[in-house]
Amino acid sequence: MHAFARRAALLALLPLAACGTARVAAPGREGGVWSCVPYARTRSGIQLSGDAWRWWEEAAGRYERGRAPRPGSVLVLARTARLPQGHVAVVSRIVSARELRVDHANWGSGAGKGRVARDQPVRDVSPRNDWSLVRVWYPPRGDWGATVWPAHGFVHPRRMLAER
């Protein structure tokens, strides 16, 4: 299948999945309801599935992983009480050693729930500058969110040699 046809097929399926595999999309919203996992998979080309928090372990031995961001890589946020399914976001660009931009879905709440947000700031607030703790821009406030989120790191779209 050509890359364009494959991407079109994946985009058609996006509204059917959610950040966690147990949730389904709500019908009737213009543009559909998007979630982080299928959105990140389509945007990055990384073929992992399951809840977002599982992506870090699922990538082991299949994709390169690391603590340094690269454009096109997927930032994997850990599972927490407030984020029970974790979250994944695709790095769109690097601004500085401690700030980057991501494209992600389903980060908002209320009317923003299920929507795609592009070029959203994420800041490394970890003591060792290793992206293990981040703050994410929160559009409804027009400011950084109040929560510091633990992050596993970045899954890079390049497959490991054994997978090629």
Does pLDDT of 162 surpass 70?
no
Cα dihedral sign, 40-21-86-31: positive
Report the pLDDT value the prediction gives residue 61, as an integer from 0 to 100.
Answer: 95
pLDDT (0 to 100) of residue 108: 76
Is residue 154 within 8 A of residue 73, CB to CB? The reply is: yes
pLDDT at 74 over 60: yes
* pTM of the predicted structure, to 2 decimals: 0.80
What number is the average pLDDT over the span 18-47?
68
Residue 43: which residues within 8 A CB-CB, separation 6 or more?
A: 90, 103
User: Is pLDDT of 87 > 60?
Assistant: yes
Query: Tens digits of per-residue pLDDT, 116-160?
Result: 999 999 999 999 999 999 999 988 788 998 899 999 999 999 887
Three-class DSSP category at 82: coil
With contact defined as beta carbons under 8 Å apart, do 126 and 144 qualify? no
| Residue 26 confidence (pLDDT) above 70 | no
Where does 39-131 show beta strands of DSSP type E?
Answer: 63-66, 74-77, 87-96, 99-105, 116-124
pLDDT class of 65 with cuts at 50, 70, 90: very high
Give me the pLDDT at residue 111, please. 74
pLDDT at 32: 64
pLDDT class of 37 with cuts at 50, 70, 90: very high
Instruction: Please give the mean pLDDT across all residues of the chain.
Output: 83
**pLDDT value, residue 121:** 97
The CATH number of domain 3-21+28-163 is 1.10.3720.10: no
- The proportion of the chain whose per-residue pLDDT surpasses 90, expressed as a percent, equals 64
